[in-house]
Chain A
């Protein structure tokens, strides 16, 4: 059974800082890795995703994947108060359909 864990549980950073969020998974054959963001009272929305080892950058957001260490991360450059939300990582297992989410990291960016 795939285990997906996130750290830290919560984080407060000042506006303009770099934010780093972590996600570990247990199934080394997992195929697809994504980050979602959920603002208070809203549905989760996909931020970005990656298939293979390495790094992918989109604007202020960068995702790193290291399958060998069963770890991927999200980095937010120049964090803004509007980035304050619950961040969820998601891993798709070997069959390609089962999507397991982590327990979330609550980010607060203080102005």
Chain B
């Protein structure tokens, strides 16, 4: 089996600050995802990457940048943190089309 590691687990930033969340997977999966989950709600897709160096915008990409320089890692940058985006950010990966998505444990973002 493999694992998806997200760092940090908790991130506190100031309003307007640029913040970076990191994700590493050792499944050797091609496709990776970033989702945002507001408290008790569903998942909203921010960015996904089909393979190394590929980036695709999700439905919630405004205010975020992403980077996939290696197959095993996928990072997300909040370009200017806002108080209304306090949430848990979930990284996920998938071996290919038609397969289930595996999730990391999340990064909880607090903006003060």
Contact = CB atoms under 8 A, between A and B. Distances in A.
Interface string A72-103: 00000000000000101010100011111111
A96 B105 contact: no
A88 B105 contact: no
B97 A32 contact: yes
Q: Which among A31, A43, A104 has the highest number of chain B CB atoms within 10 Å?
A: A43
Nearest to A48: B100
Nearest to A6: B42
B42 A101 contact: yes
Contact of A96 (B35, B56, B98, B104): B98
A24 interface: no
Contacts of A106: 40
Interface residues of A, number: 27
Interface stretch (B16-24, B43-51, B64-72, B73-81): B43-51
A107 to B, nearest CB: 13
Contact of B33 (A31, A51, A99): A99
A31 B104 CA distance: 24
A21 interface: no
Given A43-B103, A44-B90, A100 B45 contact: yes
Given A43-B106, A98-B48, A32 B98 contact: yes
Contact of A51 (B44, B98, B103): B98
* Of listed A90, A97, A100, A103, residue having the most chain B CB within 10 A: A97
Given A97-B31, A104-B42, A43 B98 contact: no
A49 interface: yes
Nearest to B49: A97
Given A46-B100, A97-B50, A86 B90 contact: no
B104 A101 contact: no
Given A6-B42, A44-B43, A106-B40, 19 more contacts: A31-B98, A36-B101, A43-B90, A43-B104, A43-B105, A44-B90, A46-B100, A88-B43, A90-B101, A96-B97, A97-B31, A97-B48, A97-B50, A98-B58, A99-B33, A100-B59, A102-B42, A103-B42, A104-B41
